Amino acid sequence: MKIAIFSDTFLPQINGVVTATVMMAKELANQGHEVHVLAPEYKEFQKDHLFPFTVKRFPAIPAFFYEDFKWVMGPNPAILGYVIKNKFHILHFQTPIGLGFQAIIVAKLLQKPLVGTFHTFFADPDYLKHIKLDLKIMERIGWMYSNIYYNRCDVVTVPSQETGAELRTHGCRPPIRFITNGIDLSQFDNTKAPEIKKQAGIKKGDAVFLFIGRLAYEKNLGALIKAFCHAAKTNPHYKLLIVGGGPQEEEYRQLAKKHDTHGSCIFMGKIEHDELVVSGIFGAAKYFITLSKTENQPVTILEAQGNGLIPLCLPEKGLKTMIEHRRTGFFLTSDDPVIFSRELERFMEDKALHQKMRSAIRDMVRKQSITNVAKEWERLYTDLILRKTTKTVFSFLLARLFSTFRTHKAIENRMSFLEEEHILNNKSEYGIQDEVHDVNDTETEK
């Protein structure tokens, strides 16, 4: 199968969409499919040749609304030419921006099946803060914008069931399929965990929590820093490792300096995913924590669970169905520092619950294997290609039938006309006399 994946966000960017795209493309390629990722050009990034799939870059310009993000302007005839040249069977876009728009155009022109994956609640006010448009009316406009893209797909996929329900509520019309993000457990190596603990100043008996993500408004990291520092005032052995970079990094560092009186918040910096999974950072922690209210199905949580960490989060957006409370994770009810501290302390006291949860998480993680998830993508793609091919063949046959009918009708009409003309030209043979009007009779009638 020849698969074209369009993604406006790709390496060297580091985020959940990039990680999910790379893992999916890599596993599909490993299963024998020809996979091409169409992405923005970053001239400084020179590692595309290391992937088992093809990465095709297109000229792009910096976007004003997000750090290190780039636009592939269009319509770009080179993209159409690339798809025609490679004869892809199916097109799949990961982002509803420039390349997503061009995937729609190309799919329409070439009559190719089109899949769109909804990864990000970009209409959420926390995302709109980046362009200073976090207004209610802009949220509505954001959903209208989303529908312009996703309503042109043959199938829309979502990594969490709650996201599918929200899409339908806001006007998404195509069939919606739930396909979870996957994880590759073989990639993790925690042998360097002791080094990470030493680097972070973690002592024996410390309760270590991990946050991984962009240091940006949509992650609600400011609330987590305030709440965690409040909890650490009475529990100084609480430690929070913060991994990531982003547009609000300096703001959050300053916030931690203001509220952190016990050295509880430790910024570990931005770590590329390939380095992250072998860094030992997962092995240095016991819990993963986030207070984000905009998550779909974060790969960071899946990877944390894959390393035996218990995730703590708010029951918001996709996390409502991704996490099973007190089984595969723990729901906090508020980001208010007082309530957060009380709930966190109660959770930490219940060691028997922790043991049960870790066992349930191990069972759940096996089902999230990227190998199994890739097979689901394979089944979806195959079904769509078959349906599109059948529809195209049926449309062709119907058109030929209609064309044949019109031709026969035209011939029939022509024959009828010629027959009438022949009769009129040979009236005597058929005993037909012209009507004769007597002038006198006509005058009498008058």
CA distances 203 to 33, 105, 241, 348, Å, are 48, 57, 13, 18
Q: Which helix (H) or strand (E) holds 402?
A: helix 370-425
Residue 235 lies in a domain: yes
| 237 and 357 in a common domain | yes
| Pairwise CA distance, residues 183 & 369, whole Å | 5
Q: How far apart are CA 268 and CA 260, in angstroms?
A: 16
Nearest by Cα to 210 from 279, 139, 123: 279
Distance from C-alpha of 168 to C-alpha of 274, rounded to nearest angstrom: 35
298 shares a domain with 195: yes
* The pair of three-digit structure tokens given for residue 323, joined into one six-digit string: 């996490």
Task: Check residue 309 and report its DSSP letter.
Answer: P
Are 189 and 170 found together in one domain?
A: no
3-state secondary structure 38-92: EEECCCCCCCHHHCCCEEEEECCEECCCCCCCEECCCCCHHHHHHHHHHCCCEEE
Residues 224, 167 share a domain: no
Which among 200, 153, 151, 140 is positioned nearest to 173, based on CA atoms?
A: 151
Give the domain-ending residue among 309, 340, 370: 370
**Same-domain check for residues 354 and 414:** no
Residue 131: CATH number of its domain: 3.40.50.2000
Give me the tens of pLDDT residue by residue for the chain, a chain 446 residues long.
999 999 999 999 989 999 999 999 999 999 999 999 999 999 999 999 999 999 999 999 988 766 678 989 888 999 999 999 999 999 999 999 999 999 999 999 999 999 999 998 876 666 556 555 656 778 888 899 999 999 999 999 999 889 999 999 999 999 999 999 999 999 999 999 999 999 999 999 999 999 999 999 999 999 999 999 999 999 999 999 999 999 999 999 999 999 999 999 999 999 999 999 999 999 999 999 999 999 988 999 999 999 999 999 999 999 999 999 999 999 999 999 999 999 999 999 999 999 999 999 999 998 889 999 999 999 999 999 999 887 655 555 555 665 555 655 666 665 665 566 655 566 555 555 555 445 445 444 44
* Whether 5 contacts 26, CB under 8 Å: no
Report yes or no on 175 lying in a domain. Answer: yes
Block residue for tokens 């410390």? 206
221 and 96 belong to one structural domain: no
Kindly state whether residues 51 and 154 are assigned to the same domain: yes
Note down the domain range covering 43: 2-183
Does residue 244 share a domain with residue 161? Answer: no
Phi, psi of 86 (to 5 degrees): -90, -5
Q: Of 137, 159, 183, which residue is a domain's last?
A: 183
Residue 68 lies in a domain: yes
Same domain for 73 and 157, yes or no, is yes
Q: What's the residue count for the chain?
A: 446
SS3 266: strand
In a domain, 52, yes or no: yes
pTM of the model as a whole: 0.81
Domain count, the chain: 3
- Based on the domain organization, do 34 and 177 belong to the same domain? yes
381 assigned to some structural domain: no
Q: Domain for residue 10, yes or no?
A: yes
* Domain-located, residue 376: no
The partner residues of 241 in beta bridges, in order of sequence, read 210, 266
Q: Residue 308: which region, alpha, beta or left (left: phi > 0; alpha: psi -120 to 50)?
A: left
Query: Tokens for 319?
Result: 């996390």
Which domain-ending residue is among 183, 216, 244? Answer: 183
* Domain shared by 220 and 323, yes or no: yes
How deeply is 321 buried, as exposed, middle or buried, from its count of CB atoms within 10 A (0-12, 13-18, 19+)? middle
Asked if residue 382 lies in contact with residue 323, where contact means CB atoms within 8 angstroms, the answer is no
Same domain, 67 and 201: no
Please check whether residue 379 lies inside any domain of the structure: no
Q: Is 348 helix (H, G, I), strand (E, B) or coil?
A: helix
